[in-house]
Amino acid sequence: MIKISNVSKHYGAFQVLTDCTTSVSKGEVIVVCGPSGSGKSTLIKCVNGLEPFQSGEIVVNGTSVGDPKTNLPKLRSHVGMVFQNFELFPHMSITENLAIAQIKVLKRGKEEAMDKGLKLLERVGLKAHAHKFPGQLSGGQQQRVAIARALAMDPICMLFDEPTSALDPEMVNEVLDVMTELAREGMTMMCVTHEMGFARRVANRVIFMDQGRIVEDDSKEAFFANPRSERAQQFLAKILHH
């Protein structure tokens, strides 16, 4: 589904990603973790072309992301993405947030888009808030809306970029629950997150990044039981003894 081969990226002289290679098969849930500045968010943003990269290749569902001939908007329209800061559109109601891209990008009818939006809103447990504006919702609720917004496009896979790191602790679980449910339904997911509990529960594989390199890429059992690199061992020790 997603194939990342030898991807490197630099800003000027600063190397952000070095020779990253991995892949995500259909239905797989991958957690990408690592210390901040390790390039994990950059890597996930390369997958839908939000960040350009200088060398290597990323192929999503048969389409090469880096190819200048690729119709990126079209590719992105079926790759869902959830951001750290939700990025709901503050000048639109929740319903409009859910419908706008369906109408403008997928050319669905207004009725259909609204219906679909409401169904997904119900699924994330927020149907009662349909007429509110993003600013009136809590962070956790906004992030659930953002997930619903991405799902409304019928994505073939979902990218999560630290979806819970901007949330108050008591709101983290409501978002992780939605993500867990999604994973159980077989959604292909690539999640940048520090939530190791989530990784243990739902991930198939864990990728550990450090200084722009993929240091570990292993089944979650192997990763948690016996991380090979010293850097991952230190990281796990720090994060788990919290």
Partner 1 sequence: MHEFDWSSIPGALPFLWEGMKVSLVITAQAVIVGIVWGTALAMMRLSSVKPLSWFAAGYVNLFRAVPLVMVLLWFFLIVPKFIEQLFGLPSGTDLRLTSAMIGFALFESAYYSEIIRAGIQSVPKGQMAASSALGMTYSQAMRLVVLPQAFRNMVPLLLTQAIILFQDTSLVYVSALADFFGAAYKVGDRDGRLVELLLFAGVVYFVICYSASQLVKRLQKKYHPA
User: What is the contact surface with partner 1 in residues (CB under 8 A)?
Assistant: 45, 48, 50, 72-74, 76-81, 83, 85, 87-91, 100-101, 104-106, 149-150, 153
**Cα 162 to Cα 156: distance, rounded to the nearest angstrom:** 20
We find the least distance from the C-beta atom of residue 42 to partner 1, in angstroms, to be: 13
**Cα 87 to Cα 38: distance, rounded to the nearest angstrom:** 23
Are the C-beta atoms of 140 and 167 separated by less than 8 Å? Answer: yes
Coil, helix or strand at residue 237: helix
Are the C-beta atoms of 220 and 203 separated by less than 8 Å? Answer: yes
We find the least distance from the C-beta atom of residue 77 to partner 1, in angstroms, to be: 3
Cβ proximity to partner 1: between 89 and 224 the closer is 89
Closest CA to 142 of 165, 175, 100: 175
Cβ proximity to partner 1: between 106 and 236 the closer is 106
We find the least distance from the C-beta atom of residue 230 to partner 1, in angstroms, to be: 34
97 φ/ψ angles, rounded to the nearest 5 degrees: -55, -40
We find the least distance from the C-beta atom of residue 56 to partner 1, in angstroms, to be: 21
Question: How distant, in Å, are the alpha carbons of 53, 116, 128, 190, 222 from that of 151?
Answer: 26, 10, 19, 14, 31
**Cα 227 to Cα 45: distance, rounded to the nearest angstrom:** 26
We find the least distance from the C-beta atom of residue 54 to partner 1, in angstroms, to be: 17
Are the C-beta atoms of 73 and 121 separated by less than 8 Å? Answer: no
Cβ proximity to partner 1: between 30 and 47 the closer is 47
We find the least distance from the C-beta atom of residue 74 to partner 1, in angstroms, to be: 7
Cβ proximity to partner 1: between 51 and 218 the closer is 51
Cβ proximity to partner 1: between 76 and 231 the closer is 76
Cβ proximity to partner 1: between 83 and 223 the closer is 83
